[in-house]
Structure 1
Amino acid sequence: MIADQLILNKKTTKSDFGTDKKSESPVRSIAKALSWRVVGTLDTLVISYLLTGEITIAASIASIDFITKMILYFFHERAWNLVNWGKK
């Protein structure tokens, strides 16, 4: 959906998002996903540091977490895209 529009350079018009006030632009969705991932990674970094007492280990854990969660989120979104429930 969002990835398709970005990869294939599909044009979206203002009316695509204006008819349903709950919809948002793909760029906004990407910005929200990235900002949430940063918040989640900082949380992992702090918890890892509190548990290990080692900033290098905590940073390693947080880095791996950032990458794996982005990949998992992509496949999660693709799976939900197959579900018709809640779509108009």
Structure 2
Amino acid sequence: MILDQIIFNKKAQTKGFKEDKTSEKPLRSVLKALSWRVIGTIDTLIVSYLLTGELSVATSIASIDFLTKLVLYFFHERVWNKIKWGK
């Protein structure tokens, strides 16, 4: 359903659904996650290269790091978006 909202910009069609005007849209969370992961992946690539001295190993580590942390960050953002504290 979240992916459906991201791709097709659909709104939930549940009867009685009230749109939350204070939360971010899922697409914003995805773009924030991507931009942050690019920065984090560059850092991981540099650190991995400095530790291993092997560009291929550093690239492998950075690639896996990018994918796993992108997914984790997206869901982390969505959970925090539901928390009203500090808004």
For this structure pair, what is the TM-score category when the shorter chain's length is used for normalisation? 0.5 to 0.7
Give yes or no for contact 2:33–2:74 (8 Å, CA) kept in 1: no
Within-5 A mapping of 1:7-86? 7=7, 9-10=9-10, 30-86=30-86
Long gaps (5+) in structure 1: 12-23
Partner of 1:6: 6
Q: How many positions carry a matched residue from both structures?
A: 76
Aligned equivalents of 1:82, 1:25: Cα separation in 2: 12
For residues 57 and 72 of structure 1, the distance between their equivalents in structure 2, rounded to whole angstroms, comes to 23
Shift of 1:34: 2.1
- Taking CA–CA contacts closer than 8 Å with sequence separation of 6 or more, which of the two structures ends up with the larger relative contact order? 2
1:19 maps to which residue? Answer: none
Q: CA RMSD in A?
A: 3.0
Conservation of the 8 A alpha-carbon contact between 2:29 and 2:78: no
Gaps of 5+ in 2: 12-23
Query: Matched residues in 1 for 2:59 and 2:26: separation?
Result: 30
Q: TM-score, normalised by structure 2?
A: 0.64
| TM-score, structure 1 as length reference | 0.63
In structure 1, how many angstroms separate the alpha carbons of the residues matched to 2:29 and 2:75? 16
CA distance in 2, matches of 1:80, 1:26: 12
Percentage of identical aligned residues: 70
